[in-house]
Structure 1
Amino acid sequence: MSNVRLGVIGLGNMGTMTANYLLKGEIEGAELAAVCEMYPDRLKWAAGHFPSSVTGFDSIEAMLTSGSIDAVYIATPHFDHPAIAIRAFECGLHVLTEKPAGVYTKQVRQMNEAAARAGTVFGIMYNARTQPLYRKLRELVISGELGAIRRTNWIVTNWYRPQSYYDSGTWRGTWAGEGGGVLINQAPHQLDLWQWTIDMMPRRIRASCYFGKNRDIEVEDEVIAFAEYENGATGQLITSTGESPGTNRYEVVGDRGKLVIEDGNMTFWRLRVPESEFNRTSTDLFRQPECWKCDIPLPKQGKDGHLLTTQNFADAIRTGTPLIAPGEEGIKGLMLSNAMHLSTWTDRWVDLPIDEDLYLSHLEERMRTSRFKRSKDGAE
């Protein structure tokens, strides 16, 4: 087919960046055909910034039904992602959405069902999946090089945000404005990678979310979560926006050793024989398996991950290239964050998949009492 005509919905930071690199021709086989922005001042800016070949719309419905685009990139507030995507699928359009896929799994499940009915390409901007570190980790796990997974531990507290960040918009740090805190706004990439790199979802989660612990906000700014898997493995995730200096260290322990990602490097502490075999055969009371420290060589990443993911989306439309991040998988990371919220609210373990109606009832109660008030169009 000819170039994919892409329409960008939402001209905030991500939408503007995407529109600009499309305009510069940095995505082979795709072109910027239209932009949509609800704020008049921003749409006026777009009219002066983009050439006349790029149509500006102040109505999402008008853009989706215009016939001037083949696909959309959704860069609106995440509450709105599912509804826009569902309507785009109904119009026969391909969809690439920013993360997270939505705020709660019930609405994202409906989006996935609409994608299946449409049969068009559906991608999500999990651009962290393009990073060589995490691709190599997934490769080593899936190939069996690490053996059966026993434990994961991810400390990701380098999401520091001062109070001025939350004060910069009345919607920030509120249930009605964002639907969550660090789990929804900062850490969706880690939640996706946590399950993607080991190719497993937990069977249940127990979490402690601390709401407004270090900042004047309604939502969580610190989380400690514990996960259990069907194979007996365990996992822990710790994340925060209030620590400085922060840490980003990811450990995956298997029967054949331990992989550690930190400071942009990967180290494989590889056992000469699997621990299970050593345990079964060793007669020495204190000896451990022989262990080799291996620094894993990694290829350099060429283009920025955002560009690579957009290029992959265009290639999937034009040539059927498999997606790096299928949109349907956006529900997995969201299931983890919803489970952590629900575990805290109910003070108990939460089985996965979660009770979606129960989660939504808890969320809606918090939205009703939120200091941010949403109108029908999502504005204050």
Structure 2
Amino acid sequence: MQTVRIGIVGLGNMGSGHARYLIEGQVKGAVLTAVSDVSEERLNWAKEKWGDQLHTYLTPGEMFRSGEVDGVLLCTPHYDHPRQAIEAFECGMHVLVEKPAGVYTKQVREMNEAAARSGKIYGIMYNQRTNPLYIKLKELISSGELGEIRRTNWIITNWYRSQAYYNSGGWRATWAGEGGGVLINQDPHQLDLWQWTTGLMPKRIRAFCAFGKHRDIEVENDVTAYAEYENGATGVFVTSTYETPGTNRFEISGDRGKIVIEDDKMTFWRLRQLESEFNRDNRDAFAQPECWKFDIPIKPGGTQHKEITQNWTDSILHGTPLLAPGEEGIKGLTISNAMLLSTWTDGWVDLPIDEDLFHDKLQEQITRSASASGKGGKA
């Protein structure tokens, strides 16, 4: 194979965006040959915009079995991802799925198992893994430069969404339509980066989620969560969609200082000596270890969605390692599921979570939901 023939499922905002750069030839070795959407209007729009040579299908299955595509990019509503991915794997397709991997881990685990059985290339659109800031952070932590991690704090409240945003689609911010709120819609990238950069998954979580705070919606739009790790480290994750101006500040403290990412900059307060060594040897009651402040230079780059699609294509054609393996989508989702489950049960949740209990609690929310599932591409 010299070229990967790609099909896109779902022509909403994300699907259309991916289609544009593929049509423009911005991904080497890839060509968009087909699209699928439940809306004939969207399919007609695609043909008018990109030409009759583009094959169009009303159902994903038709496209998977058409012989016109080698791999598919899933850009549909959250609940559809695992079901459509499993069908694609069974049809011999390579799969790149938009975030989040799904709504609940039990469903995503089945998708991961189908991917493993298929032997096909399976990626997830965690485009923030191409951001040089987070690549550098991961390097500094994994190299031991920061020492053992002791605390993480991420305040991510710059996801402002007005009531008009939520009113723009009947499926938005509903349990039946989206399966959650800020954790499933806005924060999947941060939940992934939280564990990807540090290399740590929580052992247990206690969270407090507010549902419809200052907004007429069903789902969570304000979250404060506390996490504990096996090595004794702790973490706090705070997020909302109603605060403005908001904050995006990620702070990681280690045995050799702390790193802060804010305003697209990285600052490292580096201790000259490990705190654990200083504490062991120091005899001065009010002394502190010597500390140096550095602004860490960050190389430009990171083409976000295009880079993930290029990497997935290169993996299919040349065996290049994936930047964002699809199997890893379950990690951030496990954290968000744990936060909701902690709120619903009003207690601590151990990881891995009780997947059946979460599913049952989610179904309780869905039965009370005012929305039916959304149609077409994901916005």
Normalized against structure 1, the TM-score is what? 0.98
Q: Which residue is equivalent to 1:358?
A: 357
Q: CA deviation at 1:53?
A: 2.2
Q: Which residue is equivalent to 1:224?
A: 224
Q: Which residue is equivalent to 1:293?
A: 293
Q: Which residue is equivalent to 2:22?
A: 22
Q: CA deviation at 1:374?
A: 4.0
Does the 8 Å CA contact 2:38/2:376 hold for their aligned counterparts?
no
Any residues of structure 2 matched to 1:51-90 within 5 Å, and which? Answer: 51-90=51-90
Q: CA deviation at 1:50?
A: 1.6
Amino acid at match of 2:148: A
Q: Secondary structure at the match of 1:26?
A: coil
- After the TM superposition, which parts of structure 1 deviate over 2 Å for at least 4 consecutive aligned residues? 373-379
Which deviations, in whole Å up to 9, do the C-alpha atoms of 1:314-339 show, x marking residues without a partner? 00000000000000000000000000
Which deviations, in whole Å up to 9, do the C-alpha atoms of 1:25-49 show, x marking residues without a partner? 0000000010001111111111211
Q: Which residue is equivalent to 2:204?
A: 204
Matched residues in 2 for 1:257 and 1:141: separation? 11
Matched residues in 2 for 1:68 and 1:377: separation? 21
Q: Which residue is equivalent to 2:111?
A: 111
Q: Which residue is equivalent to 2:192?
A: 192
Q: Which residue is equivalent to 1:345?
A: 344
Q: Which residue is equivalent to 1:334?
A: 333
Residue 268 of structure 1 pairs with residue 251 of structure 2: no
Q: Which residue is equivalent to 2:370?
A: 371
C-alpha spacing 1:128/1:375, structure 2 compared with 1 (3 Å): closer
Q: Which residue is equivalent to 1:50?
A: 50
Which deviations, in whole Å up to 9, do the C-alpha atoms of 1:1-37 show, x marking residues without a partner? 2110000000001101111111110000000010001
Please tell me the root mean square deviation across aligned C-alpha atoms, in Å.
Answer: 1.4
Residue 305 of structure 1 pairs with residue 309 of structure 2: no
Amino acid at match of 1:317: I
Q: Which residue is equivalent to 2:183?
A: 183
Residue 161 of structure 1 pairs with residue 158 of structure 2: no
Structure number with higher relative contact order (C-alpha < 8 Å, ≥ 6 residues apart): 2
Q: Which residue is equivalent to 2:131?
A: 131
Matched residues in 2 for 1:313 and 1:143: separation? 26
Q: Which residue is equivalent to 1:147?
A: 147
Matched residues in 2 for 1:351 and 1:101: separation? 21
Matched residues in 2 for 1:279 and 1:214: separation? 46
Structure 1 gaps of 5+ residues are none
Structure 2 gaps of 5+ residues are none
C-alpha spacing 1:40/1:119, structure 2 compared with 1 (3 Å): same
Q: Secondary structure at the match of 1:35?
A: strand
Amino acid at match of 1:327: G
Matched residues in 2 for 1:82 and 1:375: separation? 16
Q: CA deviation at 1:377?
A: 10
Q: CA deviation at 1:375?
A: 9.2
C-alpha spacing 1:39/1:376, structure 2 compared with 1 (3 Å): closer
Q: Secondary structure at the match of 1:78?
A: coil
Q: CA deviation at 1:126?
A: 0.2
Amino acid at match of 1:181: G
How many percent identity over aligned positions? 64
Amino acid at match of 1:328: E
